[in-house]
């Protein structure tokens, strides 16, 4: 796979609105309505269209855009429908608005493109794209204007894409605060299989084991298992479509993962067999190495130190904690909260740059905070 090209809103220049004219959004669910909210906030004329009248009215009531007019002449059309109808909708919109540039935000890029090509559709003004953003719950009621800020937005251009058409799609992503990444459709689908689709299945499979677990076991759930299974709350109907449209790349990753799981299971069946413990240790070590490769805040490969603060379960304590960290000139890079059932306090795991951790820990302790643990030497 070639190294993807990245462009961020910050790198692209000042925050002037690049998107102009009327933007037509087909599909007013989570992504469509979120795009509508973000563009409307920038003063862009947004038209919403949806096969569901009630969903459309809800999105309009929430301020994501307006209803269509017969004389609308959109310059940009965003197809934000379920994956299994993307090709049909793109074909229809290209025919209805031949002068408009059309993009879609589906999480699978190759399948709709193949379908459109097989039908002989003129794709001169079509550019597939995919914002890597979402929430556990869908629908217009869950939409947020800031859902794309700092998130990757993949654009799949080809040799026939004009600079003008590309600028409209890239301008949309940058206006929404996303980071542009250029990939081919094949590269995109292989990447999301590993980074999005298989993680969804792993989370769902693990969470499914909780159904028949004893209540006593569930009481032991901590932040680790909650983090691992957070996305298991996703909508089954949508994921059946996504996984079906990207089946081959997903199966390839699943087969590799199944082989890895088999190796660990074999090692643990008799951990005293020579090499068994090394197999387990190597599995954990490879996980360490893989996590270190994931880009961090603002896409940087930057390591942070963490410390855990015990926070009393009373009103205003988190605000006080952040206020005192600000007084200490400590910027919080990441935060995780954990609360054990029945405990009168929670745990705030705070990540900061290594140079700030000692100042933060010492300063908080002097102010009466209890530090449960720290990764700083």
Q: Where are the domains of the chain?
A: 5-183, 191-267, 270-297, 303-374
Both tokens of 319, joined, read 């605000």
Question: Has residue 299 got a pLDDT over 60?
Answer: no
DSSP 8-state symbol, 12:
H
pLDDT 10s digits, 320-368: 999 999 999 999 988 888 876 666 888 889 999 888 999 999 999 999 9
Q: How far is CA 88 from CA 82, 111, 369, 377, in A?
A: 11, 12, 58, 58
Q: Which of 248, 253, 154, 245 is nearest to 201 (CA)?
A: 253
Q: Write the pLDDT tens digit of every residue in 159-215.
A: 788 999 999 999 999 999 999 999 999 999 999 999 999 999 999 999 999 999 999
Secondary-structure breakdown of the chain: helix, strand, coil percentages, each rounded to the nearest 5: 50, 20, 35
Query: What is the distance between the alpha carbons of residues 156 and 127, in angstroms, rounded to a whole number?
Result: 6
Whole-angstrom Cα distance, residue 68 to residue 143? 20
Superfamily (CATH H level) for 5-183: NAD(P)-binding Rossmann-like Domain (3.40.50.720)
CATH number of this structure's domain 191-267, picked from the four choices 2.40.420.20, 1.10.3660.10, 1.10.260.40, 3.40.50.720: 1.10.3660.10
**pLDDT at 13 exceeding the cut of 50:** no
Q: What is the mean pLDDT of residues 295-299?
A: 59
> What is the C-alpha to C-alpha distance for residues 159 and 3, in angstroms, rounded to an integer?
18
DSSP codes joined into one string, 201-270: HHHHHHHHTTTTS-HHHHTT--HHHHHHHGGGGS-HHHHHHHHHHTHHHHHHHHHHHHHHHHHHHHHHHS
d(CA 181, CA 172): 13
- For the segment 43-63, what is each residue's pLDDT rounded down to a tens digit? 999 999 999 999 999 999 999
Contact (Cβ atoms closer than 8 angstroms) between residue 325 and residue 284: no
Asked if 365 and 371 count as a contact pair (C-beta separation under 8 A), the reply is yes
Instruction: Note whether 177 and 148 are within 8 A (CB).
Output: yes
Beta-strand relationship, 370-374 and 345-352:
unpaired
> Which three-class secondary structure string do you get for 166-219?
HHHHHHHHHHCCCEEEECCHHHHHHHHHHHHHHHHHHHHHHHHCCCCCCHHHHC
CATH number of 303-374: 3.30.70.260
Per-residue burial over 33-46, b if 16 or more Cβ lie within 10 Å, else e, is bbbbbbbbeeebbb
Over 60: is that where the pLDDT of 89 sits? yes
pLDDT in tens, 232-291: 988 898 899 999 999 999 999 999 999 999 999 999 999 999 999 999 999 999 999 998
State residue 337 phi and psi, 5-degree precision: -115, 140
Beta-carbon neighbour count of residue 316 at 10 Å? 9
Nearest Cα neighbor of 65 from 75, 55, 94 is: 55
Q: What's the pTM value of the predicted model, to 2 decimals?
A: 0.79
CA 247 to chain centre: 20
Which secondary-structure segment (H or E) carries 144?
none
pLDDT over threshold 60, residue 14 = no
> If you average pLDDT over every residue of the chain, what do you get?
90
């Amino acid at each position: 796979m070639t190294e993807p090209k990245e462009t961020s809103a910050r790198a692209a220049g000042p925050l002037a609105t690049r998107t102009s004219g009327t933007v037509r959004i087909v599909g007013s669910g989570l992504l469509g309505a979120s795009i509508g909210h973000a563009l409307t906030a920038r003063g862009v004329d947004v038209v919403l269209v949806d096969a569901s009248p009630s969903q459309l009215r809800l999105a309009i009531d929430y301020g994501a855009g307006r209803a269509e007019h017969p004389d609308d002449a959109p310059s940009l059309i965003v197809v934000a429908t379920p994956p299994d109808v993307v090709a049909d909708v793109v074909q229809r919109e290209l025919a209805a608005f031949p002068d408009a540039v059309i993009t879609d935000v589906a999480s699978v890029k190759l399948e709709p493109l193949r379908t459109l090509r097989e039908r002989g559709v003129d794709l001169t003004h079509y550019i597939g794209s995919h914002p890597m953003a979402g929430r556990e719950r869908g629908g217009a009621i869950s939409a947020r204007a800031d859902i794309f800020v700092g998130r990757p937005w993949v654009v799949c251009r080809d040799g026939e894409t004009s600079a003008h058409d590309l600028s409209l799609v890239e301008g949309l992503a940058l206006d929404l605060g996303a980071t542009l990444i250029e990939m081919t459709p094949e590269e995109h689908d292989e990447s999301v299989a590993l980074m999005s689709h298989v993680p969804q299945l792993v989370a769902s499979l693990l969470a499914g084991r909780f159904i028949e677990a004893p209540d006593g076991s569930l009481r032991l759930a901590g932040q680790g298992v909650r983090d691992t299974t957070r996305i298991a709350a996703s909508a089954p109907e949508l994921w059946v479509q996504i996984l079906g449209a990207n089946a081959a790349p997903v199966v390839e990753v699943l087969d590799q993962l199944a082989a890895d799981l088999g190796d660990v299971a074999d090692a643990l069946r008799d951990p005293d067999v020579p090499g068994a413990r090394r197999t387990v240790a190597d599995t954990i070590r490879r996980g360490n190495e893989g996590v270190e490769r994931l880009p961090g805040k603002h896409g940087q490969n930057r390591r942070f130190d963490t410390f855990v603060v015990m926070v009393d379960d009373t009103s205003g304590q988190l605000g006080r904690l952040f206020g005192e960290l600000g007084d200490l000139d400590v910027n919080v890079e990441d935060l995780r909260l954990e609360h054990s059932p029945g405990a009168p306090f929670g745990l705030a795991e705070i990540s900061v740059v290594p140079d700030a951790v000692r100042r933060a820990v010492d300063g908080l302790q002097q102010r009466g905070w209890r530090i449960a643990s720290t990764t700083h030497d």
